[in-house]
Every structure is written in C-alpha cells, then in structure tokens.
Structure 1
Amino acid sequence: MKIKLLLFTVLSCYISFAQQKDTIVSREKLSEVVVTGQFEPQSIKKSVFNVRVISKEDIKQLAANNLSDVLNQYLNITVKNSGSDGRSTVSMFGLDSQYFKILVDNIPLVSDTGMGTNVDLTQVNLDDVERIEIIEGSMGVTHGANAVSGILNIITKKGAGHKWEINATVQEETVGNEYSLSDKGRHIQAAKLAHNFNENWFVNIGGNRNDFDGFYDNKKGKDYSVNDGLRGYSWLPKEQLVGNAMLGYHKNNFRIFYKFDYYGENVDFYSPILVPEDNYPFPETYFARDKRYITNRYYHHLNANGKLFSQLNYNVSLSHQKQERDAELFNYQMETKQEFNNFRFTYQSKEVLYSTGTLSNFFNSKKVDFQLGYEITNENGFYSGSAGTFLDNALQSVDVRKRLENYDIFSVAEINLSDKFSIRPGLRYSIQSTFKDQYASSLGLRYLFKKGLEARASLGKSYRTPNFDELYTYFVDSNHNLQGNPDLVPENSTSYEVSFKRTCSFDSGAQIANNLAVTFMDVDDRIDMVLTQTKPTSLYKYININKYKMWNISTTEQYAYKNWNVKVGAALVGVSRKIDLAALELTSDDKFLYSLNLNSSISYNIPKWNTLFALYYKYNGKQQQFEAGTDTDGSAKFFLNEIKPYSWMDASVRKLFFKNQFEITLGARNLFDIKNVQITQNGGGSTGGAHGSGSSDLLLGYGRSYFLKLTYNLNFN
C-alpha cells in the first residue's frame, strides 16, 4: 500500500508538471558534477548512468567518521555488523559485499579477500572525502570483475580553496549508554592541513585517530576475574589510526597527483574463559588466553591526466597497495594485569599492483566520443596455516601463497544522436591467469523529454571471480569439514535497469525532484558453500551450483522549499535463489521472497542562527532466505529463515560560529535503541536441531548513542 501511494505521488507530480506551462521552469543542476563511469567530469544530468551522490554536507551532518556511519541510511543498502570481530560490510539487493565494489578515486580498495570487494566499512575513513558517488547495477565494462550489484566511488579532496586551510576536530561519542573519558565510549581526533604553494602546486596532509573502547552490554570487561563467562565485551574494542598525504600539480590541461594513505588497526579479544593456576600454599590464580588482531594497510596512487596531440584526453593511474593482518596470541594474568607468552604472526597479507588508463575524444566531436581503456591487476595473496583454516590432506597447517592476475582492455562509445538522445555501448575483454578469460558488455540509453524529464535504460553483463577463501580453504578435522574448490569458475550476471528522473522549480521557490527506477538481475553459476554430504560427517564445499534472480523497484522524492528539505524513498526487493544440492538429491524452493525498505530525511536551516537541524530514518523490512541444514533424523533439508523488520533513526543539529570558523555538531545515532533483531527458523534450525520452529538473534548495533563533534576551520590567503 505504501509503495502504491508513493508511485501515485510520482505520477501525480508528472501530470501536474505537464499541465502547468507558465509557472514551472526545469532546472539543470550544473553544480552537481560526477566522474564515476564518465569520459570526463560532467553534470549529473548528462550522465547516461543513474548516479546517486552523497555530498560532503550529508557526511558532515551525520558526523560520519567512516563509511558504516553513512550507508546505514542509504536505500537498497544493508550494513551488516559483527561485534565479534568489529567488521561492517555491505549488502545490496540481497547480494553480499563480494558483488559490490568500493573504490577511492577510481582505484579498488584492497581487502582481505579481493580488490574493492568485502571491504570493512569501518576501515574507510571519510575525513578527506569531497563526495561519494554510487551507481547501482552492473558496471563490469568500466570497472571490471565483481562490479555486479553496483559500485561506490569515494572522491577525495584535491587542492584547497584558500592558500592555507587548517582543520582540527574532536569528537566524543557514547557507545550505547556507556561513556567515560578513559575506557568507555568512542573518542575521535583529527587534523588536516591544505596549502596551495602557488597557482600550480598544492599539498594536503591529514591524520585521524578513532578509539572505540568496546561495548560491554552484559559483559564485564578485560579485568573481570570471576570465571562465570562474563569476562570481555559484546563488541570488541579497537583503535584505528589513519594518515594521508597528497601532492598535486596542475597547469593548463595537465594534472598530476600522488596520494598516500596509511591505515592501522588493533582489535582486542578477551576470552570469557579463565584458566586456573596452582599457587600453593596461596589461593589459585587465573589467566586468560587472549588475542589481538593487527592490521596495517599502505596505499599509493599516482594519477596523471591531460591531452595528447592537443586533442586526445588521457587519464592514467598506477597504484600499489599492501595489507597485512597479524594475530598476537598472549596470556593475560588477572592478578597482575600483565601479558606474557606473547606470540605474533602474520596470518593474511595481500599486495596488489594495479593500473588503469583511458584515452578518449578521438573524434573531437560533440556528437560521437569513443573511449579506449586498459586495466592490469597483479594480486599476491598469502594465508598462514596458523590461522587454522588452511590444512593439507594430512591435517597439517600449511601456508598458501597464490598470485591472481588479469589483463583487461575495454572500449566505450557515447553517441549523441541529438541533444536529447544518447547511446552508450561498451565491451570489456579480460585475460585471466587463473580462470577462463571473461568478458563484460553494456548498453546504456538516455533520453531527455520536455519539461526536464530524464529517462535512462541500461543492460549490462558482468562477472564475479572466486575469492581466495572460496578457492583454497581446506579445514578438515574430527568436528569440521569445510573445503574450497580450485576448480570454481567465475559467476556471470545480467542486469537491466530503467529509470526516470525529474527536477522542477516553481515560481514560489519550491523545488521537487523525483527518481523512479526498476531493476532486474540474473546471476548464473553462483558460488555458495553448500552441504554436499551428511554421513558419516557433514561435508561443506564451495560449488558453482546456484541461481539468483532479483528485481527491485525504488523511488525517491525530494522536496525543497525555503529553509526546508524533505526526502522520502521506498524500495521493494524480490529475491529468488535456487540452491541445487545434486549430491543429496535436494533442491530449494526458488520462489521470490520480498523485502520492503523505506528511508526519509528532513532538514531545516535557520540562516539567522547559522544552524541546520536534520533527522534521518530508515525502515528495513523482513528478510527471508532458504538455508540448507540437517533435520532431527540427520537428513538434509531446507529451512526458511526470516530476519524480523527493524528501524534506524539518527538526528543531529549543526551550528557555525565566528564566520564559519568554529563548528559544533550534536546528535544521536540509533534512536530506537536497536541491539539485536530476531531470526526465526521455520521448520527447524538452519544447521540442524529440534524439529519445529526455532529462533536466534542477529547482532545489529550497540544501542542508542550520542555524539558531540567540535571542528575548528582556519582559512586564509
């Protein structure tokens, strides 16, 4: 009913626009320039892709420190949190983070299992971000493997508006109802400096520290010495350090910059189990077997763009990224509060050399443009057998070192048949070192109707390559049998999207913007970890076996009048998964399961007070999925799991003082105090258990939290 009401609103708006000829003027938002998937930076209206933009002002209003803080409010995206390891990943259209690519200035960000995919959102700092651009649907032609459900491109700030720009920030935040200056809450400090040496040279330098002291909830922390299982944290404590620098030069049509980023993270795990030690004749003492996860990531990016032979536009990037993840095992003496028997080892590392480049403007024509590009990826991965999931057939720990390479060429044409109608075909061919060579193709259409109505349609074929874990995991003992599969082949997907967009202005100053999109996606040879054997032990293995279909209808309405800005969105997603366990002669139901998402935001600006009030709301409807498991008699069976609906609301007020030099943001996250959401298992547990219905809880958040952010800006020439 809510979807019908929103669609009626959109259609009514279009009809009313058509009837009013004298009082409405179409407005092109030339100030909103996008770069993702474009031949060159251009207005969002001219883009054949349906690009969504999260502005720097949105990021400021949410007091967002990382991507997780922002994407919680985005339609069609679900943020999945894990308190056990502190990670947050993204899911779009029911597909997990392996299908969604995250880039920084068009360079895929290295992660544990790939390039740009499965990225921990909490590890992506937003201090140096100018805006975020999101394109939903297949982007395999321009962005290669794994850009199946969409891409997110973080555009960083380059240069400064003044000769000197100095910025310092302090942010204090509660974690639920827990806070203290020393060992509870979240404490953030950041500083940035930008300087234009002259009209050609500039430099940006910044640093950030995010100290998250964990969420106790019903736990008692690391120094709790009673052996009742309450030691530790519900959300693990972690400290993040970020450093970045950029040096750039531009003159006439030539631009070049070098960007360096460092990311460091420590995550502490404190065991709830205390081990007694004999201390005769005194009372026995206790210690705990704890561990620490340490991440270090280095990012280098060199980019040059300009003109060749006074006509051809070129844009070339070279990137080197290295990420190492260490584990430090140690014993913690409860009486002395000292660590001993520390043992540190690298259990995962990834080093990637990446380059991409394009040539365009071959014809120097506004009617026809052609882009030719390449992409080279050299990815060296290492996993240590000490992590426990890489064993040989004799059950001995083994180290796994593998190199994955691809060499891609792609071409895109943009044909403007008229000022209103544009066609954009594209093709990519990828030479793979590990898999059969792959290709991606796309066709985009854009038509500008009268009175500012924009229509877009796209067809895209893309692919996802298996990740390191899916290929090489081998973990078999008396209790586990989980195996990767080196014979996996890439998944193939087809995506269709049709969208309509309109922005109109009234003489009164009011502005209304509408965006309606319909998407369908089909994924073949989908890789899943499936149950292939139940006796004598359960055997799980990664196999190309499943099919996945999704359709989505979404709409966003934005209303602006004087100091008010209201935005309302809705999306209905239907997902069909066919899981075929041929070895067990068992196939899941492939009917479509539906989920409704709603989001909205409202802001009010008081210019006299230099103050902006904002409220953000998102409703996540119930999510259903068939899962394979074992019944009470040990036979394989599919169960329907259902995640109950929940809502998320954030609020903030931001005020500027002293000619915008001093800024205060005060607000709250998760106003509905969400911590867990119930998962019901109809017909039995997903991994076996009692016959009938069962339930469990999914950890989503740490409850309602409050924040205060203080920023000082000093700009001068």
Structure 2
Amino acid sequence: MNSRNSLKILFYLLSCTLWAQEDLKKVIALDSVVVSAQIEPQSVHKSVKNVQVISKAQIQKMGAVNLADVLNQYINITVRPDINTGKQTVSFLGLGGNYFKVLVDNIPLVSENGFGNNTDLSQVNLEDVERIEIVEGAMGVTHGANAVTGILNIITKKKSRLPWEIGYTLQEESIGQEYNFLNKGRHIQSFKASHSFNDNWYVSVGTQRNKYSGFWSDYKGKNYSRTDGRRGYRTSPFETLQSNALLSYRKDRFNLLYKAEYMNERFDFYDRTAEFVFSPIYGGYRFGNDRRDFYQRHFHHLNLNGQYSQWFYNFSFSYQYQKREEENFRYMIDFQKEINNQKRKTHSMKVFYSTGSVSHSFANKKYNWQLGYELTHNIGFSLLNDEGQTLKKVEKEIDNYDIYSVLEVNLSERFSLRPGGRFSYQNLFRNQYAYSLGSRYSFDNHWEWRASVGESYRTPSFEELYTRSVFMGHAFLGNENLLPERGISAETSLKKTSLWDEEGMLVNNLGISFNNIKDKIHNVLLDMNNGTPHTQYINISRYQSYNCLISNNLKLSQWEITLGGSFAWISQKIDNQRYRTDDRYLLNINANTGVSYTIKKWDTSISAYYKFIGKSQMWQMSSTGYVIGDLDPYGWLDISLQKKFSNRKIELTLGARNLLNTIDVGLYRQTLSGEKTRLNYPIGYGRSYFLKLTYNLNINY
C-alpha cells in the first residue's frame, strides 16, 4: 500500500472521527472505573492518561484461552510467535516486549528474561480475569523501568455478591485442520470455586490445564524415522497446568488480599532428521537427539490498602520465581524408548518486590498528591554455551530502589494537569530518573483532549547482558557494559463521545504519538566469517517513531461495532563503522474492525473480529550487511457465537480462529546486486475451530 492510499484512508477515518451528535439531553452512565496509573480509582473520562478497557464479556465472546488470543485483535499490538520456543511476545507501537510492561493487579509478572517485560503471553491465564486495562505512553514515573510505550494491567476478580460460585469449563479446539482426542488439537479444562463467608471474607481457588498437541502440517511426528527432514512437528507440543488461590478481607476502610499462583509447563522438541547407529546392546537402530523444556513459576502477592484519616494507602509485597530446566535425551525410534537422559537448570529468575504509595487530597480535591516507592531485588541465573563447547554458569543480582511523586491538579472541572517524577537507585547501572507531564481538558458536548510528554528509561535485560552462545563458526554475545536506554515520548489525543436514547453511544478517538530513544540496545552485526554472523548487543542505534491512531466504537441497542487504523513511521539507525543502516522512515500500517450482535430474546451473541497488518518493513542482517526486509500484508479473522442456557448456568461458545488460513507470510530481502530472496515468516497454524462449554453453579441462600 503506497503513501497516497494511506493518506486517503487516514482522512476517511478522520472524517468518521469528527462525526458528532449535538443535541444531547439525556446523560447516561458510560464510564467504567479504572485503577491503572491512577492516584485513586476513577472513571475513564476523568483519567489524564488514555486507558483502554477490555471487559470480561469481550474476552468470553472471543473464546480466548490466554492473553495472546485477546491481544491478537487489538490495534497497535502485534503478537509475535516463536515456533522454536513456543513463546508468544508482544510488540507495541513498533517496539518489542522490552518496552511494554505486563502486570497482574499492579504487580509486574516475572518472565525468563525480565520482570514485567518480555512476558510470554501464552502463559497468562484468563479464567480469573475481571478486565484488562491498557495505558499508552511513557509510564516510567509510576511504573519504573521498561514502561516506555505503556503498560497492560490484568485485574482479577476479588469479590462476589453470591455465597458460592462454582464453574467448570471444557474447551476443544482444532490446530489448523488437525483434531482428535488423543494426539491432535488443543484440549483445555478449567475449574474455579469461590465462597463469600460474609460481607468481609472471600476465598477462591482455580486450576486450568491446557494441552497443545503440536501443529503437524507436513511433518510426521516423533516416531518418523526417515532422513528427509520431516520428523517432529512444525510447532512443538506443550502442556500447561496453572493453579491459583485467593483470600480477601474487607472491613470499613481496610482491605487485605493474598494471592498465590503456580504454573508448570512442558515443551517437547524433536530432531528434524533421524540418524542411524549400531549398538552392541540394541543392535542397529534409528534415533533422534530430542529435548524437552520444563517451566515453573511461583507467584505470591500480598496487598494492603485502605484509608487512615484523610490519607489513602496501598502497599504490595510479592515473591516470584520462574525457572527453565532442559532435559536432553536420545529417542530410539525403533524401540520408542528414551536413553541417556540428562536434565539441568538453564535459566531462572527470582524476584523479591514491594511497591507502595500514600495519597492525600487537598483544597476540596483540587489537589491530589501521591508519594510512592518501588523496591526490586532480582536474582538471575543462566547456563551459557561458551567457547570450546563448554558451559558457563552466570548468577547476578539486579536491584533497584525507587521513589516517585505525582501531583494531580484539578484547575477546574474541565482542566487537569498531572506532573510527576521518579528517581531510581540502580546497583548495576548509573542511577536513573523519569518525569512526565500530562493534561486533560473536557470541552462541551463530550469532547475530551489529552496530551502528555515524558522521559522514561529501559534497563538492559539479563539476556542482553549475559548471553553467550558460542559455537563453531559463529557467536551471539551479550555485553555486561551496556548502558540503560532513555526514551522521550509525547502523545496527544482528541476524543468525542456521542450519546442518544439510553443505549446509544459512539466514541471517536484520534491520537498522535512520538518516541525518541537514545542509546538503544541492539544486537548488531560485528563481523562475517565465511558467511556466518558474529553479533553482539551494544548501545549504538537511534530510534524514532511517529504513530497516528484512529479508533471508532459504536454501541447501539444490540450492536457493538469497532473500526480503527494505525499508521507508524519508524526510523532506526545502526552504525558500527563497518556495517550500517540509513535513517529513512519505514511505514507500517494496522487496521481492525469488530462487530458483535446480541439477540436478547435468545441470550445469544454473534461476533466477528478482523485485523489487517499492512506491508511492514524492517532492517535485517545479511551476508553483505544490513538490508531492508519487506513483510507481506496479511489479515486475521475470528468469528464466534455465544449462547447461554438454563438461566445462564450453561454457556456455549462456538467459533473459528484465523478464518483466512494465514500460516506463513513472505519476508523478502534484496541483496546489493538487486537479487530478491524470499523467506517464510511464520504467523499462525492455519484455520482452526473451537467449542467451549461452561457450567456455572451459583448458590444463593
């Protein structure tokens, strides 16, 4: 799509944005209460920052199993699958998961390579989610390192109006066209029970099992013995078990919450080609050098919040631990037997974390002031492949101790300002700081304008600091001398809400943002040895991006319709004196639309979600240096039907994902001689179908 057509789309959507309903005589409740990045819970339209809310009802309509299923349909967010590891990470506003923070109830979630960032979305369970809040823009003041492009906060359920709630869910899903009960498809079961002892005490427990049997495609499974490279699976099978428990106490102005979660996950990897060997014990047999990875994650969270006199307080304490163990073995295909099993820990991350704040309102709530802290003690471990085919253990502590302050000034009912600042003491890097200034102005007829500017920072990840993978002929190196990045972000938006009758609402939003990152960390090409790359993470590249977003959301009686578009211009310059890129701006386009229709008489909803990812450009390494890679455009279409029976005790959801059957997308690179090469860039596992059945037993006595 050329720039001229892009501008046509932009002005068309802008004309939709400026549509308004002027004669508004009836005011209706239209705002949900949000807590992310707020001094105290407040409605969306009073928030100085733009907050996007994804409700539990929307998640249920999608039949989503994990966070990746939900975010795959949202504008400016790209879910990136890794067929080698099974991970699914997020790219937001053109920047990867290192710049975007994922939290659960305002607590960052530990991952293999970070704390709150680089989160594997496939490991985030949604069965206990009340809603998801996404805040765009620099969030370094309130959320510290790595919140450069924004945050995603998962809010879980913490209370119930009923004495007992018991639910069981069974979901069956094909993987592409592949499905059976034994070794194909996706099989999910989940259970949750909660009990309100009285108005003060609430407890809940839950568990979920998710078995993904792998995408076979044209591969033949682990017992295939030919040497044609078709052994194993296109994407590896895995199985995840997650359990959680929650205890909540509420009385007067005091709230206490404890939550624990345990995750256990197993990935299986198979050699693509079988080999033959003769053994004095077994004779001649064919085998594969296979591997399985085991992930474990523990999560413990204690929160105290409430009010003392005129002061509000909120304190959280968390212990999290995630590790990955690797088991290598020889699989004897003829005997279907494993031998020479060797298991070892390869990565782990242990975090002791606390955050807290006190806040107070002055002058009849004209001034809201918040003072907060964040303490993080992070112990990382990695087993590295070093020179001479040796293994090297690295265990390092990464700590930060932060203090921040935010002041929200309500100059009038219409106009608010919000300055803030943070100072961070770092044990491995130079001390860091962040600042921001946000503003909101409400015009007549439900027009809202917001603008903010801020500077945030990103500290190097454990992988960037200590990776060392050295084999014959190539090396991928970390760098312990990396400096933290600093990023300046600015954004402004104009929002119009139009209301009519009791069930009609149209929300139009136009937003423009800018990011400028200095000392950007990048894995750069240092040398080519006989066509084999030697790379290392260094502070060398400069990154700038401009983003324009248009979104339109219509709710009218039984209809919900969304339409949005995003245009991003990204410039990244890399120059290590030998290999370099220029500073041209590369265009990336996203668009999405969603339609949901509810038949109230039948208690049935029909939904469809479509996302278009336009032609994307990026700098890539080649045997001659850096070249521009062009990723073909593609679309992603999901549909679902949700029906409720027996006074909503039974919920049935039928649907299809990826109806356009997107599996691979062409990634083209042009050499200096002008020759174009095509690589397959994996996106999904094809068109799939799912059925989800939930039974809810609610007891009221």
TM-score by length of 2: 0.96
- Which residue in 1 is equivalent to 2:30? 29
- Which residue in 2 is equivalent to 1:598? 591
Mapped contact 1:28–1:45 kept (Cα < 8 A): no
Mapped contact 2:34–2:42 kept (Cα < 8 A): yes
Q: How far apart are the structure 2 equivalents of 1:279 and 1:241?
A: 38
The amino acid across from 2:408 in the alignment is E
The amino acid across from 2:356 in the alignment is G
SS in 2 for 1:436: coil
Structure 1 residue 407 and structure 2 residue 401: aligned?
yes
- Which residue in 2 is equivalent to 1:694? 677
Mapped contact 1:652–1:668 kept (Cα < 8 A): yes
Mapped contact 2:20–2:498 kept (Cα < 8 A): no
Alignment of 1:535-546 (within 5 A): 538-546=533-541
Residue deviations 1:291-338 (CA, integer Å, cap 9, x gap): 100000000000000122x11100000000001100011111212212
Alignment of 1:139-288 (within 5 A): 139-278=139-278, 284-288=284-288
1:643 pairs with one of 631, 639, 642:
631
**CA distance 1:402–1:13, shift in 2 (3 Å):** closer
Q: How far apart are the structure 2 equivalents of 1:558 and 1:401?
A: 49
Q: How far apart are the structure 1 equivalents of 2:293 and 2:283?
A: 33
Deviation at 1:401, TM superposition (A): 0.5
Q: How far apart are the structure 2 equivalents of 1:703 and 1:251?
A: 51
Mapped contact 1:26–1:451 kept (Cα < 8 A): no
Mapped contact 2:79–2:90 kept (Cα < 8 A): yes
Mapped contact 1:500–1:516 kept (Cα < 8 A): yes
Q: How far apart are the structure 2 equivalents of 1:158 and 1:227?
A: 54
Alignment of 1:527-542 (within 5 A): 527-534=521-528, 538-542=533-537
**CA distance 1:281–1:203, shift in 2 (3 Å):** closer
The amino acid across from 1:567 in the alignment is T
SS in 1 for 2:549: strand
1:659 pairs with one of 628, 647, 651:
647
Mapped contact 2:439–2:451 kept (Cα < 8 A): yes
Deviation at 1:160, TM superposition (A): 1.6
Structure 1 residue 502 and structure 2 residue 496: aligned?
yes
Deviation at 1:112, TM superposition (A): 1.0
SS in 1 for 2:126: coil
Deviation at 1:273, TM superposition (A): 2.3
Mapped contact 1:68–1:88 kept (Cα < 8 A): yes
* Bigger mean CA offset, 558-567 vs 533-542: 533-542
- Which residue in 1 is equivalent to 2:435? 441
- Which residue in 1 is equivalent to 2:561? 566
Q: How far apart are the structure 1 equivalents of 2:293 and 2:152?
A: 27
Residue deviations 1:45-72 (CA, integer Å, cap 9, x gap): 1110100011101110111110111111
The amino acid across from 2:424 in the alignment is S
Structure 1 residue 621 and structure 2 residue 600: aligned?
no
SS in 1 for 2:327: strand
Mapped contact 2:645–2:651 kept (Cα < 8 A): yes
**CA distance 1:171–1:112, shift in 2 (3 Å):** same
- Which residue in 2 is equivalent to 1:423? 417
Q: How far apart are the structure 1 equivalents of 2:198 and 2:246?
A: 15
Mapped contact 2:28–2:502 kept (Cα < 8 A): no
Mapped contact 1:26–1:504 kept (Cα < 8 A): no
Q: How far apart are the structure 2 equivalents of 1:574 and 1:2?
A: 12
SS in 2 for 1:418: coil
* Bigger mean CA offset, 93-102 vs 223-232: 223-232
SS in 2 for 1:384: strand
**CA distance 1:701–1:9, shift in 2 (3 Å):** closer
The amino acid across from 1:546 in the alignment is S
- Which residue in 2 is equivalent to 1:101? 101
Mapped contact 1:670–1:703 kept (Cα < 8 A): yes
SS in 2 for 1:482: strand
Q: How far apart are the structure 2 equivalents of 1:541 and 1:215?
A: 33
Q: How far apart are the structure 2 equivalents of 1:503 and 1:226?
A: 63
Deviation at 1:2, TM superposition (A): 6.0
Mapped contact 1:248–1:256 kept (Cα < 8 A): yes
Q: How far apart are the structure 1 equivalents of 2:364 and 2:347?
A: 49
Deviation at 1:446, TM superposition (A): 0.3
Deviation at 1:9, TM superposition (A): 5.2
Q: How far apart are the structure 2 equivalents of 1:574 and 1:83?
A: 28
Q: How far apart are the structure 2 equivalents of 1:508 and 1:307?
A: 36
Residue deviations 1:489-532 (CA, integer Å, cap 9, x gap): 00000001101112211248532111111111111100111122
Q: How far apart are the structure 1 equivalents of 2:278 and 2:540?
A: 54
Mapped contact 1:133–1:152 kept (Cα < 8 A): yes
**CA distance 1:490–1:336, shift in 2 (3 Å):** same
**CA distance 1:14–1:180, shift in 2 (3 Å):** same
Mapped contact 1:159–1:204 kept (Cα < 8 A): no
The amino acid across from 1:710 in the alignment is L
* Bigger mean CA offset, 313-322 vs 338-347: 338-347
**CA distance 1:581–1:281, shift in 2 (3 Å):** closer
Residue deviations 1:51-108 (CA, integer Å, cap 9, x gap): 0011101110111110111111010001111222211110012211111110101111
Mapped contact 2:473–2:529 kept (Cα < 8 A): no
Residue deviations 1:648-680 (CA, integer Å, cap 9, x gap): 000000000000000100000000001000000
Q: How far apart are the structure 1 equivalents of 2:609 and 2:521?
A: 36
Q: How far apart are the structure 1 equivalents of 2:477 and 2:279?
A: 44
**CA distance 1:544–1:12, shift in 2 (3 Å):** closer
Residue deviations 1:231-252 (CA, integer Å, cap 9, x gap): 1000100000000000010001
**CA distance 1:16–1:291, shift in 2 (3 Å):** closer
Deviation at 1:125, TM superposition (A): 0.6
Q: How far apart are the structure 2 equivalents of 1:84 and 1:166?
A: 38
Alignment of 1:118-133 (within 5 A): 118-133=118-133
- Which residue in 2 is equivalent to 1:473? 467
Residue deviations 1:435-478 (CA, integer Å, cap 9, x gap): 00000000000000001111100101001101112112233343
**CA distance 1:598–1:532, shift in 2 (3 Å):** same
1:704 pairs with one of 687, 697, 701:
687
Residue deviations 1:343-382 (CA, integer Å, cap 9, x gap): 1110111100000000001537310010000000000001
**CA distance 1:205–1:571, shift in 2 (3 Å):** same
Mapped contact 1:453–1:500 kept (Cα < 8 A): yes
**CA distance 1:288–1:29, shift in 2 (3 Å):** same
Structure 1 residue 64 and structure 2 residue 64: aligned?
yes
TM-score by length of 1: 0.94
Residue deviations 1:14-50 (CA, integer Å, cap 9, x gap): 4643xx33x56564523x1100000111111111010
- Which residue in 2 is equivalent to 1:607? 600
Residue deviations 1:410-435 (CA, integer Å, cap 9, x gap): 00000000000000000000000000
Deviation at 1:535, TM superposition (A): 5.7
**CA distance 1:218–1:366, shift in 2 (3 Å):** same
- Which residue in 2 is equivalent to 1:360? 359
Unaligned runs of 5+ in 2: none
The amino acid across from 2:436 in the alignment is S
Residue deviations 1:520-576 (CA, integer Å, cap 9, x gap): 111110011112234687532211001000111111111222211111011111101
* Bigger mean CA offset, 637-646 vs 210-219: 637-646
* Bigger mean CA offset, 637-646 vs 255-264: 637-646
Mapped contact 1:26–1:503 kept (Cα < 8 A): no
**CA distance 1:380–1:707, shift in 2 (3 Å):** same
SS in 1 for 2:221: coil
Mapped contact 1:25–1:451 kept (Cα < 8 A): no
- Which residue in 1 is equivalent to 2:73? 73
Alignment of 1:284-303 (within 5 A): 284-303=284-303
**CA distance 1:609–1:694, shift in 2 (3 Å):** same
- Which residue in 2 is equivalent to 1:687? none
Q: How far apart are the structure 2 equivalents of 1:454 and 1:291?
A: 55
Q: How far apart are the structure 2 equivalents of 1:705 and 1:44?
A: 36
* Bigger mean CA offset, 571-580 vs 510-519: 510-519
